[in-house]
Amino acid sequence: MAGGPLLQLWENLLPFAKDLRIRFAIAMLGNVLAILFIFTLCKMFIPGLEEQLFS
């Protein structure tokens, strides 16, 4: 059995990876997580940031 279970998993997931809608959804989720991470970092270093943004 050449490749093993990882190759079989990749062959099963490949049709989904080719779908551009799935790729777009993953990219948007990554963007949201990056924005949340940056916002969390900014909250640590800028006091009163939440009150200024959400007032």
Report the alpha-carbon distance of residue 36 to residue 32 in Å, rounded.
Answer: 6
Output the pTM of the full model: 0.58
Sites in the chain below the pLDDT cut of 70:
1-2, 55
Domain ranges of the chain: 4-53
Q: Which residue type does 18 have?
A: K
Residue 3 DSSP one-character state: S
pLDDT on residue 30? 96
